[in-house]
A and B are shown apart, each in its own frame.
Chain A
Amino acid sequence: GQNIDQPTEMTATEGAIVQINCTYQTSGFNGLFWYQQHAGEAPTFLSYNVLDGLEEKGRFSSFLSRSKGYSYLLLKELQMKDSASYLCAVNGAGNNRKLIWGLGTSLAVNP
């Protein structure tokens, strides 16, 4: 079967660093997306990885290991506004209609 696992909830402190993990088992792989979703709002695109390694975008970085079926999203210098749900999605075939979504990790940033 096809499956994506993420922790359900995480808590961190303002100014700290947090790592949100995502493991996946899919029949194909053509890239992994991370989206951020604030409560009551739409998901917004954060990052995309298709090759192994780290992609850095400001305070956010995303890592991929295809051999391990593993990715993480790293958030540095946490701010209160980073409190949100973080969704991992795998493109299991060469087309977005085959996106497989994780259930999301709800991150609470405390002062």
Chain B
Amino acid sequence: NAGVTQTPKFRILKIGQSMTLQCTQDMNHNYMYWYRQDPGMGLKLIYYSVGAGITDKGEVPNGYNVSRSTTEDFPLRLELAAPSQTSVYFCASSLTGGENSPLHFGNGTRLTVT
């Protein structure tokens, strides 16, 4: 049981480039999330999904896109990378969206945009 797997672990992008951060989970969780974590700013929700085919915006969605074609996969797309997107990105999943359903996080992707 691998849990939540994110790739790549590290990436450096030039301004204006695009990339996809991959996320897959093998726990058959319905809910999946993308967060970014910046020093002194805490975790911010970018997008989330409550099941295959359904996605919705979180607090900070601008500059990102997601898709959820299967239960397992939830990729995050950056179309035109900007320095403000330099951050650590975490994908997470939970069995349900209910109160007592802890999040399981992937190991993160450290992205630098220069």
Chain A residues within CB distance 8 Å of chain B = 30-31, 33, 35, 41-45, 48, 50, 87, 89, 91, 94-97, 99, 101-104
Contacts and interface: CB of A to CB of B under 8 A. Distances in A.
B31 to A, nearest CB: 6
Contact of B42 (A31, A50, A101): A101
Interface of B: 31, 33, 40-43, 45, 48, 56, 58, 90, 94, 97-108
B100 A45 contact: no
Contacts of B41: 103
B107 A96 contact: no
A101 B45 CA distance: 10
B97 A95 contact: yes
Main SS of the interface on chain B? loop
Nearest to A47: B102
B45 A102 contact: no
B3 to A, nearest CB: 10
B107 A42 contact: yes
Contact of A44 (B31, B94, B105): B105
A35 to B, nearest CB: 8
Contacts of B97: 94-97
A31 B96 CA distance: 14
B43 A97 contact: no
Given A35-B103, A91-B99, 12 more contacts: A41-B107, A87-B42, A87-B43, A94-B97, A96-B101, A96-B103, A97-B97, A101-B43, A102-B42, A103-B41, A103-B42, A104-B42
A45 B102 contact: yes
Given A45-B104, A48-B102, A97 B42 contact: no
A42 B102 contact: no
B45 A33 contact: no
Contacts of A35: 103
A89 B100 CA distance: 12
